[in-house]
Amino acid sequence: MTSDLPEVPRVLVVEDEMMLRMRAVDIVEDAGFSPVQAVDADEALSILESRSDISLLI
């Protein structure tokens, strides 16, 4: 079954402070985007190297 809905852009949220990261993820979701989380720069780089669907980095 195929969907006619457009794919929701993915936003990579990078923040080592858990509460700030959780709030940023909530904001991204509320804005209608799909968040992906990283705790630090190393994890963010790993995600960016392994995925091609990230539209924005915060």
What is the tally of structural domains in the chain?
Answer: 1
User: Which residues pair with residue 38 across a beta bridge?
Assistant: 14
State the pTM of this model: 0.87
Whether 13 and 35 have beta carbons less than 8 Å apart is answered as yes
**Residue 1 included in any domain:** no
**Residue 2 included in any domain:** no
**Residue 48 included in any domain:** yes
**Residue 43 included in any domain:** yes
44: enclosing H helix or E strand:
helix 41-50
**Residue 4 included in any domain:** no
**Residue 27 included in any domain:** yes
pLDDT of residue 3: 64
Q: At residue 57, what are phi and psi to the nearest 5 degrees?
A: -120, 130
pLDDT of residue 58: 95
Instruction: Supply the range of the domain harboring residue 44.
Output: 10-57
Q: What percent of the chain is helix, strand and coil (3-state, nearest 5)?
A: 40, 25, 35
pLDDT of residue 6: 76
Q: What is the pLDDT of residues 2-43, one digit of tens each?
A: 567 778 999 999 999 999 999 999 999 999 999 999 999 999
Of residues 45 and 5, which shows the higher confidence score? 45
**Residue 17 included in any domain:** yes
Structure tokens at 6: 């457009």
